Structures are given as structure tokens and as C-alpha cells.
Structure 1
Amino acid sequence: MSSPVPALTSHFADAFPELSAPSRAWQTPEPRLLHLNAALATELGLDEDWLRSADGVRFLTGEAPGPDARPVAQGYAGHQFGGYSPRLGDGRALLLGELTAPGAGRADDADAARDVAGATSTPDLTALRDLHLKGSGLTPFSREGSDGLAAVGPMLRELVVSEALHALGIPTTRALAVVATGRTVRRQRPLPGAVLARIADSHLRVGTFQYAAALVEGGHAPEDLVPRLVAESLARHHADRVDADVPALALLEAVVAAQADLTARWMLVGFVHGVMNTDNVTISGQSIDFGPCAFLDAFDPRAVFSSIDRQGRYAYGAQPQIALWNLNRLAEALLPHLAADPNDAVAAATAALEGFAPAFDAAWQSGLAAKLGVPRTRASDDVAARLLGLLAEARADWTTFWTDLADVVPGPSPTPGTPAGLPDSAGVRAWREDWLALAPDPERMRAVNPRHIPRNRPLQEALDAAEGGDLAPVERILAAVRDPFTPRPDAVDLALPSGADERPFVTFCGT
């Protein structure tokens, strides 16, 4: 009989000792499972019952990762709010190792990934999934003054928001479990501590390349470090490009396309990441790190929720331009590997980066057309552009507007009236007439416009309750956002906007 203890590989630790440091999770005084993502555990081929056991919970906190595990803290750099930090890394996090997802990856991708290493015995890198912890204690990368810990509220926030994005079809890292530690964490006030177990296709970031390039430039790492990192990234995430003549250029182009698509997907559901530093931009194209994130209520391109984003650097409408800014930093790290001649390298990088705008525009406009229930055409682009202006002027609720709009065309004969959230004006009536002339499909609209999102205030109230020991409100929200298109009588507050007289909602990093 096979052991229920998951077999973790040490692929990253073995391949990139220059970018990792051995570390161990701290012991937890009284570990208690707050939530296990049973569906994700099943996808990964893990034994759900064992994970709920005392031994399983100690595995999820990193205290008992198995005899063959080699946990490491990963090193990376990053531009944080525009300021460069040359050495960040996992200061309160730990890569326990990699799981192999059953049936993950396409056969052609698997063959390509194996060929990168030049041996058919090499594992399928597209099937690897990082098991990564947050709040597991200090590491060699911890900054001065850090305690390496995390609190219950922010870890449950990451669980809820990542599950919401996943249910909406948006690439994202996912929470496997949240475990209370029994330890008190000191922030602005004492908080109950927790550890998050997170699953990701990898934790390779733009900041990883920045760190690797700086190590090589400073003579602290071999010159083949960045090319090896390029090969790893292609094999794990963009295996259809591993045979490219210029691998670094192929990787840059792939990440540009992935991030353009991801940013558009965020904005289509009103998601504001809140801290788009280069260390939070993945090479895989997955969403990662959900500290001061939030969802739009009133539509406003300038909307900012983070308490530390006082200049609006990461505002809702600024996300495409900051995504491209971050990609420029990746291009800089890859520049010596794009071409032998520096001028040619700059030209190649520029051409790759110029692909962001049309890729984002295609994803954004196609997504808006789908939300409007029509095929994308020049006419739909015009209707969408006019609508965005009307929504901003009226400060209409982003989520409610779209779900209610489908009810304007419930059958062969459109229902008279003004779309929800917009005034009864000549401009709105003209827009409505032009939109209906495109013959929108209400069922198509209902399939892409969520009824339930993690509304900011109800989610915060649920997290506050969880800190006091009551998990029922978080579980209620989780159930709703995991099934975002189905009406639920117990989730009315997740389908309605906040009151207009309430103060602006503010989120905090939680670290």
C-alpha cells in the first residue's frame, strides 16, 4: 500500500542553488486546519483524509514535509512601487518542493520539456506544481524587523480571492490549505497566526530574472545562469517555444502575451491587484500574491484600494501600463541574451514589447464583446467604448450593471427601460438602441458576467469574524465565488453594490 505522504521533488533547489537557500518551517504551537481545498487536493492526487489528519496538517505547515524534501527559500529582486530592491526573496515563505500533477501538460509539451534536458528520463516539467508556504517563519532572505509570520485574515483573503479568480477562468496560483498556528502575530494589533499552503505552476517571476542577471553581472554566479533560467521557464510554462532559435526572445514574447491576456482578464471582472511589483509578475502568467487587492464597486479607472498606493501607481485603469513597465524590466534582464550586438538586442526587445498593446487590446475588446453578448466587430468596439464613458460618468456598479444588462434582452422582444446604474438620458437611450441593433445573446452574457464576486466589505467582515474564530462567513463567501454565475439567496450581499454613502474601501498589505 502506497504512503499517503505526498512525494515532493527538489527540482528547483537542485537546478538553481544560486537562487535558493535551504530553510525550514518553524514549529507551530497548536496547528489547526481552517480550510482544506478538497477539490484542488483531488486534482493533485492527494489523499484528502490524510491531509486532514494530524500528520497531514503538519505536512501543510511544512513541519513534516517528508524525508526526501529539501525546502528552500527562493531569491529574487524587485521594483516595488518603482524603487529597485536588489535582494528580496522569500522572507516569510518557503518552497517545500514540487508535486507532480496527474495528467498535467499536453503530450507534445511534455516531450518538448524532456528534450530541453536532453534525456527522456527527465520528468515532465509541465506537470510540476510548486507547494509553497506563506507565514512559515524567518528565512535567510528575511528583512530586518520581519517576523516571517502571517495572520489568519490575509491568508484567508488569498484563499477566497484566488478561488474566485480560478472560478472565473483567470490563471492564478491557488490555496491548498490555511492552517492556524496557535501563535500570535504582532501587527498594528495582536492577530491569530496562520500558514498558507499555495500551489503554483512555479514561482519564477520577473524579479527572479532581475536577481539572476545582477548576480551574473556582479560576478557572483556563472554566466550560464540566465540561459538556464530561460530554458527552465520555457520547459515549464511555454514548452511550445523550447526549440526557438533565440530562447530568451521566445520567452520574452511568451511572457508579454501571457501578461497582456492576464491583465485584460483581471480588468474584465473589475479586479485591482494593488501591488504589481516586478516580484509579483509571474513568468507563467498566473496571478500571484493577494495582499491589498480588491474588486471594483463603482466603475472608475482611477480606483485605488491599497492603503500604500497613495499616487495611484496601481490603479484599476493603470494596470496595463504598469504591466508593460514590468515587462520592460524583464527585457532589461534578458538583453545580453537577445542578440550578440547590443543594438540588435534592443531592437529585438522593443519589437517584443510592442506586442503587448495589440495583445491586451485584443483580449480586452473580445472580452467586452462577450460581456455585451455580441461578436467582436468594429461596431462592438465602438459600443463598448461609449459604454465605458457612460459607466464612468454614472459611477455605475461594474458587476451589477453587467448581470442586469442581460435582463434587458430576456427574449425575442427587448424589455423597455434603462440599463441598471445608468441615467435615463438621450445618450444612454441612443447607446442602448445601438447595442440592441447588434442582436446581443443574453445567455452568452450570463455565462461570462459573474453575479458573485468577493465584495470588499462583506469579505472584510468575514475575515474579521474568522479572526474571532467564526469561519462560517468565509465559507459562505467561498461557496458563492466558486459558483459565480448561479443566483444564490444566501449571497445577495455579494451581488449588490455597496451603499453610496459609505466611505471608500481601503485594503492593507497584511504583512
Structure 2
Amino acid sequence: MSAAPESPAPTSTAIAGFENTFAEALAPLTVAWQGAEVPEPTLLILNDELAESLGLSVAALRSDDGVAILSGAARPADATPVATAYSGHQFGGYAPMLGDGRALLLGELVDTAGRRFDLQLKGSGPTPFSRGGDGFAVIGPMLREYLVSEAMHALDIPTTRSLAVVATGRDVHRDGAEPGAVLARVAASHLRVGTFELAVRHPDLLRPLADYAINRHYPDLAELPESGDRNRYLVFLETVIERQAALVAQWILVGFVHGVMNTDNTTISGETIDYGPCAFIDAYDPDAVFSSIDHGGRYRLGNQPAALKWNLARFAEALLTLISPVPDDGIAAATAALEAFDDHYERHFATGLSAKVGLVGLAIDRSLLDDLLTLMHHHRLDWTGTFRALADELRGDPAPLDDALPREASAPWLARWRTALADRGVDPAQIAAEMDAVNPVYIPRNHRLDDALRAATAGDLVPFHRLLDAVTHPYEPRDEWSDLADPAPESFSAGFRTFCGT
């Protein structure tokens, strides 16, 4: 590995309280590093609520010293920033060394509830893992990740979060010169399937990494024995599989398409990470693809569970020698754990979809749910708006649904649905309220987000803040946000593509 740059970054006490347990426990997976110089750091946005939950001073973060830390130009006095190493499968092809090519782990903070989080900078300059890249990022993609990750948090979907975005005053060259920026990201950790894919090729690292991950994310498992039929490593695998199955079900229930579900973007914690080419669907289409680099649709909306299961198979392969010293026994146990993924996913998805249509507490009628999906797909109904329209239907207002779908097309399914709801014996208005509590009004609509990011890149953050306010209050309809609930025109959606931002 390369050594850190010769000129050390200036230090600051604007942020304090850092620990470095990952770097201390697994030093071979890290390289001490520092961010690039920043010509003119300017704070674009700071997440005050998140800062306070981390025990940080908002005033200090907004100071010149605080902004210097958030930009990577200075380091906290008690921190030892590192770039972390990992490998991974990208679109199915193995890359033996990826690592933090444009990211810097400042260290770990323990929040006011006693939970440990990483604070990482994204776009802070080249590292030994940059593989020829410049290591920088630009304003649009960093603000995209800020807004979408905070929207996902508001939807109660496990996710990394965003603390700040700082403009650097440096032009970064992509298709042309664009203004540079750094995102400060908070995560339960940055441990990935790809971290294990690298460690398994260095056997002395695999067990310490697994034990570190267990102690950090699933400490109850540390009490289990290291060997035997129900050892901690097998249960660890089973637990991660369950977490990830729940996560991908939540993605699909809100119409979220990640776009780059490589193994290095599959976390051990079960959080969503990396919002590069992500998007939300308007019209329901299981084959929806937005990413400009997903040419074969590997990570299309409806294939996300299968893609994730494939990634988890790579995780299982990495753990085989820990699960059992007898290869056939390890393979059999890991295979059984993976085979449970489909049932986990189906349970989470069907339960969630039942809640979205008010069928809580009843036996799941999968045919009723599947027929709704078929109806939505055939008529290209808006995924988010349809569930709110169904709640309006229960309140006696058929107009929103009739505006989207002729009554003769919807009536047969609606009759079956109302019959099923009658079995609950609950007032329809109460069911409608329950539905509204799980069906958002506002998501980061692609056309609205695109407009907001273009304006922000040009220096106008007002549209961005307005959209951010709406998507972080996703269940609260307000007249002043009514336009933000509208799906994109077909003319926009037909040609819309997302990009990784690198």
C-alpha cells in the first residue's frame, strides 16, 4: 500500500470524540490517508438534527474549522483518517481490488443513544485505491445522495445518512467542468460483502473481520460458539440474509431502484448504501431500469431480490471455512441459509403490500395482491399515487383513482378488495388512515430531483430545500407541495437516465 501524503493536513478540534476501532482491529484493510486541499470550502447544507444526535456542535460544524473538516481539508485532532480496502463483484464480474477510491473514513462516533457510526467523506480526493480516477465528486451527485438518503430515512428504510455537503471551489471534469463537492456520510459501518471477498483471500483476516462485524452489528451472536451446527458464523450469515431480504422488500414497496447493486454496495449492517444511479419509479414496471451503465437490466426493479440473493451467495462463499472446516458441511449449511432468502423476501414484501392496501391482520391473499400489480403494470399506474388513491376511494372520493384508471377496469378488483376489507370489521375511514400512514405522498420524483439538482449546480438551492422538506415529511400532504406529488410527464420518463457521478 502507498504511504500517506508527505504534507500532513492541518488539524482542528471542531469535531471531537472520534474512535478508530475498525482501523485498530483490521489495520491491513486500511491505509492512513488525508483529503486533498480545498481551494474554497463553502457549506451548502448541514443536517442539524443528525449532527445533534451524534453529539456534535452545530455551531462548531458551521464554523470555518468545522467546514474544513467536512471538506477533507483538515482532519479532527483526535482522528486518524483512512481509506479502506475491499474487493467485489461489479455487474457479476470480480474486481480483486476496489477500495475507497474517492472516500475517506474519518473515524467512528458514538451517538447520544450509545450507537456507533462511521463518519466518511465522499469526494475528498484521490487515494491509493483510485485506479486512475481523480477521487473527486461534483455538487449534483452529492446533493442527490444527501436528499435521497434522507428521504429513505424518513420512509423508515435502513440507510446511510447525510451530515453535510460542502462545495470545494474546485472544478471537476466529467462531461465538462462542474463544481466540486464533498459529502459527509454517516453509516452504521462501511463493512460490505466486498470487504469479506477481499479478506477471504487473506485467511488471517477473515475470522477477525467476521468477529468484528458480529461484535459491532450483531453482538448477541458473539455469545454463540465458534464451531458446531449452530455456530456464530452460520447464524451471522443467516442474520445478514434476513436483514437484506427485508431491505430489498422495502425498496420495492416504495418503488426504489438502486441501480448499482454490486457486492461492494451490499452492507453487512443491512443499510442502503451508495445512491449514485438510483431512481424511483413513476409508472409501475418491474423491468424499470434507469442506470446508464446497466445495459442488460441486471439491477432492474423486479430483479433486485434475485440480484441481492446472488450477492449474498458471494458472502456465504467467503464465510464457508468459518461455518465448517469440512467443505461439504459448510456448503450444505450455507446453501440452506441462502435457500431461505426467497421465503424471507416473500414474507416481508407480501406483508408490506398487504399493509399498503389496508389488509393488516388478515391472512395474506397473494392472488389479490398479484392481480393489483398486474392491473397497475398493464395500465401503467403511478406506483406511489395509486395507493393514496385507494385510501381516497375508501373515504368516498373515487376521483383520484378514476382519473388514473377507467372504472370498468378497476371495478372487478375493487369489489374483491372491499370484500376482503370487510373481514376486518373496521371502519373504512380508519383503514384509509392506516393506509396513509404507510403510503407516502412525496418521494424524490425523478423530474423534480433533476430540476432541483440542475438549479443547485447553477447556485440556486431553493428548489432543493423545498423538495428536501417535502420528502422528509413524506406522509404529510400540504397544498404548497401539491406539484411535488405529480408523476413525471411521459416525455421526461422515456429518456430519463441516471449516472454514477464518477
TM-score, scaled to structure 1: 0.91
Instruction: State whether structure 2 residue 187 is matched by structure 1 residue 196.
Output: no
CA contact (8 A) 1:62 1:136 kept: yes
Over 3 Å counting, the alpha-carbon distance change for 1:429 and 1:141 in structure 2 is: same
Instruction: State whether structure 2 residue 461 is matched by structure 1 residue 471.
Output: yes
Task: State the match for 2:46 in structure 1.
Answer: 36
Letter in 2 for 1:82: G
CA contact (8 A) 2:284 2:377 kept: yes
* Shift of residue 379, structure 1, vs aligned partner: 5.2
User: 1:450 and 1:276 mapped to 2: Cα distance?
Assistant: 24
Instruction: State whether structure 2 residue 490 is matched by structure 1 residue 510.
Output: no
Instruction: State whether structure 2 residue 424 is matched by structure 1 residue 437.
Output: no
CA contact (8 A) 2:389 2:400 kept: no
> Superposition RMSD on alpha carbons, in Å?
1.5
Q: Deviations over 1:24-57 (max 9, x none)?
A: 1111000000000011011111100110010110
Task: State the match for 2:442 in structure 1.
Answer: 452
Q: Secondary structure at 1:369's aligned position in 2?
A: helix
Task: State the match for 2:146 in structure 1.
Answer: 159
User: 2:394 and 2:39 mapped to 1: Cα distance?
Assistant: 57
Q: Deviations over 1:222-250 (max 9, x none)?
A: x2x21111111111111222222322212
Over 3 Å counting, the alpha-carbon distance change for 1:155 and 1:488 in structure 2 is: same
User: 1:308 and 1:164 mapped to 2: Cα distance?
Assistant: 24
CA contact (8 A) 2:351 2:364 kept: no
Letter in 2 for 1:458: R
Q: Deviations over 1:118-151 (max 9, x none)?
A: xxxxxxxxx211000100011111112x101000
Q: Deviations over 1:304-330 (max 9, x none)?
A: 000111100000000000000000000
* Shift of residue 487, structure 1, vs aligned partner: 1.1
* 1:2-41 pair list within 5 angstroms: 5-41=15-51
User: 1:306 and 1:282 mapped to 2: Cα distance?
Assistant: 20
499-508 or 477-486, which deviates more: 499-508
User: 1:421 and 1:365 mapped to 2: Cα distance?
Assistant: 27
* 1:408-423 pair list within 5 angstroms: 408-410=393-395, 414-415=396-397, 419-420=401-402, 423=405
User: 1:254 and 1:452 mapped to 2: Cα distance?
Assistant: 32
Letter in 1 for 2:474: P
Over 3 Å counting, the alpha-carbon distance change for 1:418 and 1:454 in structure 2 is: closer
CA contact (8 A) 2:14 2:65 kept: no
CA contact (8 A) 2:120 2:186 kept: yes
* Shift of residue 5, structure 1, vs aligned partner: 2.9
User: 1:202 and 1:478 mapped to 2: Cα distance?
Assistant: 25
Q: Deviations over 1:250-276 (max 9, x none)?
A: 211111001000000010000000000
The number of residues matched between the two structures is: 476
Over 3 Å counting, the alpha-carbon distance change for 1:418 and 1:157 in structure 2 is: closer
User: 2:433 and 2:306 mapped to 1: Cα distance?
Assistant: 33
* Shift of residue 376, structure 1, vs aligned partner: 5.1
Give unpaired runs (5+ residues) of structure 1: 105-126, 217-222
* 1:316-395 pair list within 5 angstroms: 316-375=301-360, 377-378=362-363, 380-395=365-380
User: 1:22 and 1:247 mapped to 2: Cα distance?
Assistant: 31
CA contact (8 A) 1:24 1:71 kept: yes
Q: Structure 2 residue aligned with 1:236, among 216, 221, 243?
A: 216
Q: Deviations over 1:440-486 (max 9, x none)?
A: 61011000000000000110111011111111111111100110011
Q: Structure 1 residue aligned with 2:199, among 212, 218, 237?
A: 212
Over 3 Å counting, the alpha-carbon distance change for 1:61 and 1:383 in structure 2 is: same
Over 3 Å counting, the alpha-carbon distance change for 1:379 and 1:213 in structure 2 is: closer
TM-score, scaled to structure 2: 0.92
User: 2:495 and 2:435 mapped to 1: Cα distance?
Assistant: 29
Q: Secondary structure at 2:390's aligned position in 1?
A: helix
